[in-house]
A = this chain, B = another copy of it.
Amino acid sequence: MRRWKCTIAYDGTYFVGYQIQPNKRTVQGELERVLATMHKEAVRVTASGRTDAGVHAHGQVIHFDSPLALSPDGWKKALNAMLPDDVTVREVEQVDDSFHARYSVIAKEYRYKVRTAVEYDVFSRHYAYHFPYPLDTEAMKQALAFVKGTYDFTSFCSAKTDMENRVRTIYEATLCATDDGLEFRWVGNGFLYNMVRILVGTMLEVGQGKRSPASIPTILAGKDRRLAGKTAPAHGLYLWKVVYDN
């Protein structure tokens, strides 16, 4: 048996999410279907983490074990030949048995695209959040500085989470200008359920002047989801990169 690590991209629009669910179209379901065809038996795929319905991935990472003797490029071609056109394997690498797509994660990067141009654009309707309102980017940058660091992110996490330890470290929280709006980039050692979307929703409220940058430490200290802003929609979010220790 060999262990294979794959970097995959997917358009989340027509999936109910990453994680397999009976009779639903999921990314894991598509991957396991293709692997089952190749192996003539079930093969379990493990990802760095799940993504919700509508959330995209530029660089999700998965691993699986297989007795088949294919080269990395052979795996890439075989998998891509059988996968639907909205999931693609970008890179395949043989890894040590100690590698685990979820447990070995050191950091993750998420990006969130916002279209601020006034006009609705059919071509980006599934790929950026249309938020055609004036935004104070300086205020948002000040607010971003307050979430960089190690905090208990309970206030920025869906109240549905059963995760007990909600302390995470955000290494980078930046805002970049794009052709038609802006993009948030988040790098951290881990993100709680809906954490990036709640952070983005809150930052947009800061940008609109509905909250001050200085309110961020108060929200963090309150450890209450109701203190933070709205959850931004799924379709602006991309799991951009997963970082492992070599």
Q: Report if A164 contacts B (CB, 8 A).
A: no
State whether B127 touches A85 (Cβ < 8 A).
Answer: no
B122 in contact with A86 (CB, 8 Å):
yes
A123, B119: Cβ atoms closer than 8 Å: no
Tally of chain A residues near chain B (CB < 8 A): 17
Q: For window 116-167 of chain A, which residues contact chain B by CB distance below 8 Å?
A: 119-123, 125, 127
* Chain B residues within 8 Å of A125, by CB: 11, 85-86
Chain B CB within 8 A of A87 CB? yes
The answer to whether A10 has its CB under 8 Å from any CB of chain B is yes
Contacts of A119 in B (CB 8 A): 90
Distance between Cα atoms of A122 and B121 in the complex (Å): 19
Does A202 count as interface, using CB distance less than 8 angstroms? Answer: no
Asked whether any CB of chain B lies closer than 8 Å to the CB of A80, the reply is yes
Most buried by B among A87, A119, A121, A123: A123
**A9 CB contacts on chain B under 8 angstroms:** 121-123
Within 8 A of B (CB), among A39-60: 56
Q: A26 at interface (Cβ–Cβ under 8 A)? A: no
In the A-B complex, list the 7 residue pairs whose CB atoms are closest, starting with the nearest: A11-B122, A9-B122, A88-B120, A85-B125, A86-B122, A88-B122, A10-B122
Q: Which residues of A contact B (CB under 8 A)?
A: 9-11, 56, 80, 85-88, 90, 119-123, 125, 127
7 inter-chain pairs at a CB distance below 8 angstroms, sorted by A residue, are A9-B121, A11-B123, A56-B123, A85-B122, A86-B122, A86-B125, A123-B127
